[in-house]
């Protein structure tokens, strides 16, 4: 079955450490997204990519970095510059193209905490 796999499910970060969250999809989707979810605040867009080797900053990109070297993969690095990284991180994908926005398919998230 096609879907999105996020790993790990739980991740702990030490001060000054960079950590990378994995996101892999086998849906053959061009567009991929990273969101951060804090309690009571809904989802906020960190980065998105509409095609391989291209990505754009979302609303809260500071302290995060991404790469899109393969269509299937869109890893997110939470750098030490992100001072409040504790949150639930969600990866999503969708088909791309012009016109109206398409439904997004989500992974089951990675919960990041500070040690």
Partner 1 sequence: SQQGEEDPQALSIQEGENATMNCSYKTSINNLQWYRQNSGRGLVHLILIRSNEREKHSGRLRVTLDTSKKSSSLLITASRAADTASYFCATGNSGGYQKVTFGTGTKLQVIP
Cβ closest to partner 1, residue 13 vs residue 105: 105
> CB under 8 Å to 98, separation ≥6 — which residues?
none
Judged by CB under 8 A, does residue 25 bind partner 1? no
Piece of the chain touching partner 1 by CB under 8 A; list 12-20, 68-76, 79-87, 91-99? 91-99
By the 8 A CB rule, do 11 and 19 touch?
A: yes
Q: Is the peptide bond before 8 cis (omega within 30 degrees of 0)?
A: yes
Residue 109 engages partner 1 in binding (rule: CB under 8 A): yes
Nearer to partner 1, 82 or 110 (CB): 110
Name which of 21 and 31 has its Cβ closer to partner 1: 31
Whole-number Cα distances in Å, 20 to 7, 40, 41, 67, 92: 9, 25, 23, 11, 16
- Tokens 């905490």 locate to 113
4-23 residues in contact with partner 1 (CB under 8 A) are: 4, 6
Q: Does 54 bind partner 1 (CB under 8 A)?
A: no
Residues in the chain: 115
Among 31, 46, 76, 78, binds partner 1 (CB under 8 A): 31
CA 112 – CA 49 distance, rounded (Å):
22
Residues that bind partner 1 in the complex, under the rule CB under 8 A: 4, 6, 31, 33, 35, 40-45, 48, 50, 58, 90, 92, 94, 96, 98-109
């Amino acid at each position: 079955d096609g879907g999105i796999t996020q790993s790990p499910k739980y991740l702990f970060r030490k001060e000054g450490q960079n950590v990378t969250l994995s996101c892999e999809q086998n849906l053959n989707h061009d567009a991929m997204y990273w969101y951060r979810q804090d309690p009571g605040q809904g989802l906020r867009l960190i980065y998105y990519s509409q095609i391989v080797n291209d990505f754009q900053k979302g609303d809260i990109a500071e302290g995060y970095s991404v790469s899109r070297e393969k269509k299937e993969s869109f890893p997110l690095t939470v750098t030490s510059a992100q001072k409040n990284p504790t949150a639930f991180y969600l990866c999503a994908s969708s088909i791309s193209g012009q016109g109206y926005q398409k439904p997004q398919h989500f992974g089951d998230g990675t919960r990041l905490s500070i040690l």
